[in-house]
Amino acid sequence: RVGQLDTAALRSGALTVEEAFRHFIFVHEYLSRRFDGEETKVVTVLDVAGLRFSEVNSFFLKLVSTASDVLNNLAPFRVQRIIVVNAPSWIGAAWPAVRRVLPAAVRDKVTIVGADFGDALRELAGNDEIPADYGGRGPPLGDGADELEMLEAVCVLNAGGAVDFLDDAPARSPAAGSDAEAPP
């Protein structure tokens, strides 16, 4: 939920671009090792509800550029689509600046929709994979089994522990019975 980021805290140095870069790499490495390796396809949903035009500044553009560099250079084959939902009316004015920092391969996968985004999500994921927050039948955002599993792995790693599957366990497919291609 990009629109709920505390951009003032980000600008203050609470998060550096290098830390964001490491985070983006970790997420994609995690997905690669936890699921079907290079075959894993990811749909990213960026909810920009609440994002103010004034927050689309140079630091924000650096974060977007960093994330898109990871996608373009580390995992271009993994990105199926990036859907920006709850786009405010001013998004058309900010899009040219954001567009310039995105590599063409990433930029071409971006779809921007307003508050009526249900059909765009259902084109790419089944209702059981779409969080209830977004009109699906899946668990609330942040409560999905795969999300909680990744959070647990992060907590173990931050505490100095090891997560075996990140080193040598075979990859697994997304949850059985799912009608989507990738985790949320």
pLDDT in tens, 68-122: 877 777 767 777 888 999 999 888 888 888 888 888 888 888 999 999 999 999 9
At residue 7, does pLDDT exceed 70?
Answer: no
What's the whole-model pTM score? 0.74
- Side-chain-side CA neighbours of 149 within 13 Å: the count stands at 15
Q: Which residues are paired to 81 by β-bridges?
A: 43
C-alpha 145/C-alpha 178 separation (Å) is 12
C-alpha 122/C-alpha 136 separation (Å) is 9
Among 61-70, 150-159, 174-183, name the one with the lowest average pLDDT: 174-183
